[in-house]
Amino acid sequence: EVQLVESGGGLEQPGGSLRLSCAASGFTFSSFAMTWVRQAPGKGLEWVSGIIGSGVRTYYADSVKGRFTISRDNSRNTLYLQMNSLRGEDTAVYHCAKFRGYCSEATCYYMDVWGKGTTVTVSS
């Protein structure tokens, strides 16, 4: 069974840092691009960042560019999101998701498996 389990969320002060992890199982992790999607309280889904299977290409939403860094360790089947310079508007549930594509280009990707999420609260 394909499974994604996030961890690392918590309460952090504005300007602080957190590192989220997503442990993957049930599929060949290195073969698939992965992504982070967040959902602020009472709001909709917002794509945050993505990374291809090899890790050599990364993508970021403008709202987090320069503050967040996505990475992966294919030997540990784990996806990461390093979040620096945190702001109140980063408060959200952060889901990791597995990408699948109807073609080989990143433009074809959609999220076929989602984790339950980890909660990040940024407040003083």
Partner 1 sequence: QSVLTQPPSVSGAPGQRVTISCTGTSSNLGAGYAVHWYQQLPGIAPKLLIYDNNNRPSGVPDRFSGSKSGTSASLDITGLQAEDEADYYCQSFDISLSGWVFGGGTKLTVL
Among 55, 71, 114, 121, binds partner 1 (CB under 8 A): 114
Nearer to partner 1, 27 or 47 (CB): 47
Distance CA 85, CA 87 (A): 7
Question: Minimum Å distance from CB 42 to partner 1?
Answer: 11
Nearer to partner 1, 43 or 75 (CB): 43
In whole angstroms, how far apart are CA 25 and each of 56, 73, 76, 116?
A: 21, 13, 10, 14
- Kindly identify the residues of this chain, within the stretch 30-59, that bind partner 1 according to CB under 8 A: 35, 37, 44-47, 50, 59
> Which residues contact partner 1 (rule: CB under 8 A)?
35, 37, 44-47, 50, 59-62, 95, 100, 102, 106-117
